[in-house]
Amino acid sequence: MTDGSGFLPWHFGRLAVIDTETTGLSPELGDRVIEVAVVCFEGGEVVHRWSTLLDPGAPLPAATVRITGITDADVRGKPTFAAIHGEILALLHQR
């Protein structure tokens, strides 16, 4: 099924969608990623789902807990972003 130009519509290709939760919007001020999720699609179908909580190395701000529902207890002992970035890159390879 082409779009008339001879190319498949974008959603029929290989695609990865990434969602994150963070402690804020300013990494230069110390805000960190606390959750990452990746959903991989091929031909318009979900072929893989992956997610993890991450330990930001500091207590979560009250606003972050209120907005995300993620607590310090949830992230305590979880991997850091540095520890899992290779997994994310592998999921995104050729997508």
Q: How confident is the model at residue 1 (pLDDT cuts 50, 70, 90)?
A: low
Q: How far apart are CA 72 and CA 65, in angstroms?
A: 8
* pLDDT for 94: 77
How is residue 52 written in tokens? 């993890």
Determine how many CB atoms are found less than 10 A away from the CB of residue 40: 17
Distance of alpha carbon 59 from alpha carbon 51, whole angstroms: 21
Q: Is the pLDDT of residue 72 over 80?
A: yes
Measured in residues, the chain has a length of: 95
Res. 10 pLDDT band, cuts 50 70 90: confident
Question: Is the model's pLDDT at 91 over the cut of 80?
Answer: yes
Q: Is the pLDDT of residue 69 over 80?
A: yes
- CA separation for the pair 59, 62 (Å, rounded): 9
